[in-house]
Amino acid sequence: MGVAECLSRIHARDGAVRAWAYVDRSATGGEGPLAGVVLGVKDVIDVAGMPTTHGSPIYADNIAAQDAAAVALLRAAGAAVLGKTVTAEFATYHPGPTVNPRKVGHTPGGSSSGSAAAVADGQADIALGTQTAGSMIRPGSFCGTLAFKPTIGRYPVAGVLDTAPSLDTLGLFARNLDVLVAADAVLGGTADCPAPRAPLRIGLCRMPTWDQASAEMQDALIDFAAQLHEGGCVLSEVTLPEPFARLQDAQMLIHRTEAAQVLGAIRHEHPGDVSEEFRAMIDAGTATDPADYAAARAVQDECKRLLPAVFAASDLLLAPGAPGAAPEGIGATGDPLFQRIWTAVGAPCLGFPAAWRSDGLPLGLQVIGLPGTDRQLLADAQTIIAHAALKEA
Amino acid sequence: MGVAECLSRIHARDGAVRAWAYVDRSATGGEGPLAGVVLGVKDVIDVAGMPTTHGSPIYADNIAAQDAAAVALLRAAGAAVLGKTVTAEFATYHPGPTVNPRKVGHTPGGSSSGSAAAVADGQADIALGTQTAGSMIRPGSFCGTLAFKPTIGRYPVAGVLDTAPSLDTLGLFARNLDVLVAADAVLGGTADCPAPRAPLRIGLCRMPTWDQASAEMQDALIDFAAQLHEGGCVLSEVTLPEPFARLQDAQMLIHRTEAAQVLGAIRHEHPGDVSEEFRAMIDAGTATDPADYAAARAVQDECKRLLPAVFAASDLLLAPGAPGAAPEGIGATGDPLFQRIWTAVGAPCLGFPAAWRSDGLPLGLQVIGLPGTDRQLLADAQTIIAHAALKEA
């Protein structure tokens, strides 16, 4: 697409979808591998000359002096920087006005709400997002678009809001896998294109939270695995070792504790301008016993060490992308209970729509790779995507 | 319990649970059938001399001149009116600060958030709530207490906020069935105590939204039905006739359309003091095509006419009380997709905890009766409750 087509789409749809915090109607792209690609930037990431509000009224007038490193790289590669996309407050839980473009009474997920909605709805080709708990894969699942959370640290985070430094991960939404692969090369600095592994060995991973998935999500996962099997993939079941059952709670404790450290000052200096959810999270994080934090980090480290064994017989794991389809209402962004553990171990995850309900909402899954294998995962994704239910806006 | 015990419990727990919008520390009870019973009142219902804020800063200073009819009846029967409980904004979706007393990082549900949490946590014996979509049965399910939404119109609604008059229903939370039966007699005006039906015929009703329930909720329903069967109840499966598949969407349209009629002025006079969720709901309701509203009411009427056939072979229906356990986070109150249809047909529903997860959260179910059979339902509830997993605070 081009800037004109995206602006036209925004004109037609923004009143309903409300994905954007700021739009530069004079945006233009340049030459390079991303020429013609239109970019949206989550509003916790700096774009020179545009406000970075972090989804908070406290930062309404916070104009960025320079591009974040990732924005500068994408711009230099030719992408047109169209504007800033709505984020939940400080990339945590309190949502902005964005609705799900597939069904407007439902949440788009969050915290990367506007990035997921804008890309799914054809208002941008790609968008930057961040994930600390489940802020990319969940909105991708709810909105029905590709969401790629690479290995932690793969994309540079200078100019991106810190919310929990041992978990914060920068990533990309896209509708088209080739465009995603090109943008990943720009941001990741490694442009190799390995051949897809064949036969691809898929580990069906129900995760410790399986019983909290909706029946239709469980069915979507089982059905999709069957399609991969028919398509020539080798399927097996992968049960995560015991420490992973403790990783969900450990991630939550690490998240709130580190958030209290880096965002606590905002909560205390502006108590009337933060949401109840944010206040409660920060206060809980402030109260963490240091011994509990150390224990949670030990669980995280133990799970990271166990990853090679988890992937011993599988090239990729296949898991739900969310507990179900996007919940009704825009007051909250849904539950990250199918993403926290993968964020905590820093593993690359690619979310994609696997099936669609009759009401227009998608059911999204994710594949997970070993940390550091991002380019191989994106190559293997061709095999996955051949069976996925990608749908244009 | 008495007022002193409740105040002591509030002192110990209110910092965490935050169920109350206002507490009268000098509250006293009187003589009568509810002597010794301590009452909380959802903050969309007037209590003389206390603020009725409707969960909105717009009404922070709105002191009620007189008791709502239901409060006056309960007070006259001896109940001590301890205070006002937190409601979601205008009894719709934007939550207040209340957390789930069984697991504080999780929502208590809503909009009757504080009433459910206070009763579940032993801070009151009974509490008044309202249900227009799923505002009583869902928080009862999430908090693990009895929630009774009687036949629409059974309890008097003078002094209660109108939000969608063809759906608004006043009801009660309680921990103890005998206390609930006594309070229902006071409010409903019929104090008959029919014998429990035996053998009780239970219709297991998966509802059109069954696939959106979590696997653990589905298991809880099946397991509880098996317990009732072993206990001598006659079990059968009840499939709702086709119009019920359209009732969920019809209820949503009726809800937002009537809300726009009765609450639209507030949204337009105070645009900066209402939530995004409220604004979006009112704007969507304002845009309803009158023909669509008429069609939705026709679906509602058709389903009401079909109810005797639905109950032909069942005394009560048994259904999930919510899609699953209380979701993480307090930014939203969960999805009412297992309550809307029963509210729309005005049928009495009793919610109760059927099982408990290892993390302390309950899985709640509901039984549904024919409209007008409230006293019989409460009598039959003795049979149900004998198998339920009631748990003290």
Residue B184 sits in the same domain as residue B37: yes
In contact, B380 and B196? CB cutoff 8 Å: yes
| pLDDT score for B358 | 92
B119 in a structural domain: yes
| Test the B interface: residue of A211, A274, A356, A361 with most B CBs within 10 Å | A211
The Cα–Cα gap between A381 and A375 comes to: 10
Residue B139 sits in the same domain as residue B38: yes
User: What number is the average pLDDT over the span A381-393?
Assistant: 85
CATH assignment of the domain containing B94: 3.90.1300.10
Residue B23 sits in the same domain as residue B135: yes
Residue B148 sits in the same domain as residue B263: no
Per the listing, tokens 């408990």 go with B356
Mean pLDDT of chain A: 95
| Full-model pTM | 0.83
Please, which residues have CB within 8 angstroms of residue B379's CB and are 6 or more apart in sequence? B193, B194, B195, B196, B197
Task: Count interface pairs A-B at CB distance under 8 A.
Answer: 95
- Pairwise CB contact (< 8 Å): B329 & A94: no
Question: In total, how many domains does chain A have?
Answer: 1
pLDDT tens across B253-266, in order? Answer: 999 999 999 999 99
Contacts of A333 in chain B (CB under 8 A): 331
pLDDT tens across B30-69, in order? Answer: 999 999 999 999 999 999 999 999 999 999 999 999 999 9
In contact, B3 and B29? CB cutoff 8 Å: yes
B26 in a structural domain: yes
Nearest CA in chain B to A94: B331
Tell me the residue type at A356: W
B64 in a structural domain: yes
- Residue B38 sits at φ, ψ, to 5 deg, of -100, 130
- Pairwise CB contact (< 8 Å): B330 & A277: yes
Residue B104 sits in the same domain as residue B179: yes
Whether residue A392 is predicted with pLDDT greater than 80 in this model: the reply is no
| pLDDT score for A332 | 87
B91 in a structural domain: yes
In contact, B104 and B342? CB cutoff 8 Å: no
Please, which residues have CB within 8 angstroms of residue A222's CB and are 6 or more apart in sequence? none
**End-to-end CA distance of chain A, in Å?**
13
B137 in a structural domain: yes
Q: Rg of chain B over CA atoms, in angstroms?
A: 19
Whether residue B393 is predicted with pLDDT greater than 80 in this model: the reply is no
B236 in a structural domain: no
B115 in a structural domain: yes
Q: Which of A112, A113, A115, A135 is flagged as catalytic?
A: A135
Residue B50 sits in the same domain as residue B138: yes
User: What number is the average pLDDT over the span B67-89?
Assistant: 96
In contact, B147 and B116? CB cutoff 8 Å: yes
Residue B269 sits in the same domain as residue B178: no
C-alpha dist (Å) from residue B229 to B201, B224, B387: 10, 9, 11
In contact, B216 and A211? CB cutoff 8 Å: yes
Residue B26 sits in the same domain as residue B119: yes
Q: Which of B56, B84, B111, B149 is flagged as catalytic?
A: B111
Q: And the tokens for A277?
A: 């959810």
| pLDDT score for B365 | 98
pLDDT tens across B274-333, in order? Answer: 998 899 999 999 999 999 999 999 999 999 999 999 999 999 999 999 999 999 988 889
Helix H or strand E segment including A130? strand A126-131
Reply yes or no on whether B135 is catalytic. yes
- Complex-level ipTM: 0.70
pLDDT tens across B145-154, in order? Answer: 999 999 999 9
Reply yes or no on whether B26 is catalytic. no
The vertex-A70 CA angle with A67 and A72, nearest 5°, equals 45
In contact, A43 and A84? CB cutoff 8 Å: yes
pLDDT tens across A176-222, in order? Answer: 999 999 999 999 988 899 999 999 999 999 999 999 999 999 999 99
Domain assignment of residue B267, given as a range:
245-296
Alpha-carbon dihedral of residues A293, A299, A302, A304, nearest 10 degrees?
-90
Q: Which residues of B touch A (CB under 8 A)?
A: 93-97, 99, 105, 210-216, 218-219, 252, 275-277, 280, 284, 323-325, 327-337
| Test the B interface: residue of A217, A219, A328 with most B CBs within 10 Å | A328
What 3-state DSSP class applies to A384? Answer: helix
B17 in a structural domain: yes
The residue out of B144, B159, B188 marking a domain boundary is B188
Reply yes or no on whether B84 is catalytic. no
Please, which residues have CB within 8 angstroms of residue A96's CB and are 6 or more apart in sequence? A18, A21, A55, A86, A87, A88, A89, A113, A114, B276
